Amino acid sequence: MPALCLCFEVHEPYQLRRYTVFDMGQNSLYEDDDRNCETLLRAARLCYLPANELMLRLIRRYKGAFRLAFSISGTALDLFEQYAPEVLDSFKALAATGCVEFLGETSAHSLAFLYSGKEFEHQVRAQAARLQELFGAKPVSFKHTECIYNNDLAAALPRLGFKTVLAEGADHVLGWRSPNYLYSPAGTPKMALLLRNASLSADMGRRFGDRAWSGWPLTADKFAAWCHGLAGSAQVITLCNDYHLLGLRFSKETGIFYFMETLPKALLADHGFTWSTPAEVSATQHPVGEVDAPQFLSWEDEGRDLTTWLGNDMQKDAIHALYSLAPRVRRYADPELAHDFERLQTADHFAHMSTKWFAHPLTDRPNPFGSPYDAYITYMNVLADFEMRLDAAARAKASRARSARAKAGHDKPAPGADAASAKGRRNGKPVTRP
């Protein structure tokens, strides 16, 4: 009985303002509050609120037979709380149905795993605790930022409490094998590896509105027929996309909401198919083999690699400069510095520096900068100011330490002083301390 596993990534970044060299040392307001508010409210109106209302309606209509999962970044949660708390309430309403799984990820939607194991673990634990507080369940399935994955990531997850990890079903990793089965990661047999069906996911998430595509117009019945055609050679079909496809990437006028509303019925028309969450799949299915992914892969671009964030020297310079500061940030334990440091790790900052696809951005992920070079210069100016604040924190800490030592030295008698005082009193003479 094949399972349909529907997962959506929910992510909103904090966008940087045009921060120049004249701002450095004068103010440390890095983010564009007006743009962040405007962008989030538009996303809430066009995507999150109507999409969550639809998902709740489908869950109730099919009495729990329709199930899905969300991977929500910490920055998205921050923005919901700050500008649109009604969106967060709508996710809580979905959680209350018991038909929605919330996946773990890094709180900052970052690339921390590539550069700092300690930073990665800190963010994952913080995000898991927050999800449990908001939605009532600790996450047991994990989807990394933009589906980035390799063997080492899988090996790091069990000690953080995860049993399942999602990854891209990339051809160069699978070879002749199908993504429509449950696997285990190489070297981590107790973990379940759920692979995204890249083709079917792209049909829904990328090609839906493409009138030049041979499959256009995509209807629920047509999509369901493609899935039903895999019945004899599939254990689980994982469909994973950005939630923006509903209302932002494809407007309501394209029919995307009607497609999503009619899809559960079309797929359930074949009684051999069920909707399941990642945790349910790994609990009820057995891995059919092992997948070895020594190199990092992602769901981005045709190459399924990391070049969207690390494809040029500007991006590499910026991210190396950022993570070189990690030990100092955690050493000072300053909440404001730690907060800004996490926000600076969001992967979008480095994607804005990409020269690979800058001329063809997705309309739902606009780049706030005029060019990759503007993005790089702005980011490095921000980082320079942030480092100045770290230096100031170091000086303040050293000053406090000197003051503490001086105070301790003043209050505590010098070695031998008590003996000298006693001798002086015996001789009837005053004693002056050195």
Q: What positions carry a catalytic annotation?
A: 146
Q: Which are the contacts of 330, defined by CB distance < 8 A and separation ≥ 6? A: 118, 119, 122, 338
Cα 202 to Cα 31, 195, 247, 262: the distances in Å are: 32, 14, 16, 18
Q: Which residues pair with 241 in a beta bridge?
A: 8
Residue 194 CB contacts under 8 Å (≥ 6 apart), including other chains: 5, 141, 164, 165, 166, 167, 182, 236, 238, 278, 281, 282
**Nearest one of 28, 32, 116 to 381, comparing CA atoms:** 28
DSSP string, 1-49: -PEEEEEEEE--PPPBP---TTTTTT----B-HHHHHHHHHHHIIIIIH
Strands 182-185 and 192-196 come out as antiparallel
DSSP H/E element including 171: helix 171-174
Cα–chain center distance at 352: 16
Provide, for the chain, the percentages of residues in helix, strand and coil under a 3-state DSSP scheme, each rounded to the nearest 5. 50, 10, 35
d(CA 283, CA 278): 9
Distance CA 409, CA 421 (A): 18
Neighbours of 88 (CB within 10 A): 18
* Distance, CA of 215 to chain centre: 32
Contacts of 43 (CB under 8 A, 6+ apart): 12, 244, 248
